[in-house]
Amino acid sequence: MDFIKTLVIILAFFLGLALLVHICSKHKYSLKYSSKDRKIEIYPSQDKSHPSHR
């Protein structure tokens, strides 16, 4: 029974992370994770397909 609980917790964690990445990419945000401080930064991404200077 403990194995099933652990498996469900791990599955929920990865599904939540996948949902966060999906929402960020849908709304054109970038995701940065730094393991030393263990923090996640979400910020608007820079679209590099269009030149900024004309």
Most confident of 13-17, 20-24, 39-43: 13-17
Q: What are phi and psi of 40, to 5 degrees?
A: -115, 130
- pLDDT at res. 9: 95
- pLDDT at res. 48: 63
pLDDT digits (tens, 9 = 90+) for 33-43: 788 777 878 88
Within 10 Å of residue 42's Cβ, how many Cβ atoms? 13
Q: Extract the tokens encoding 41.
A: 């930064």
Q: Which of 10, 41, 8 is nearest to 24 (CA)?
A: 41
**Choice between 11 and 21, residue whose per-residue pLDDT is larger:** 11
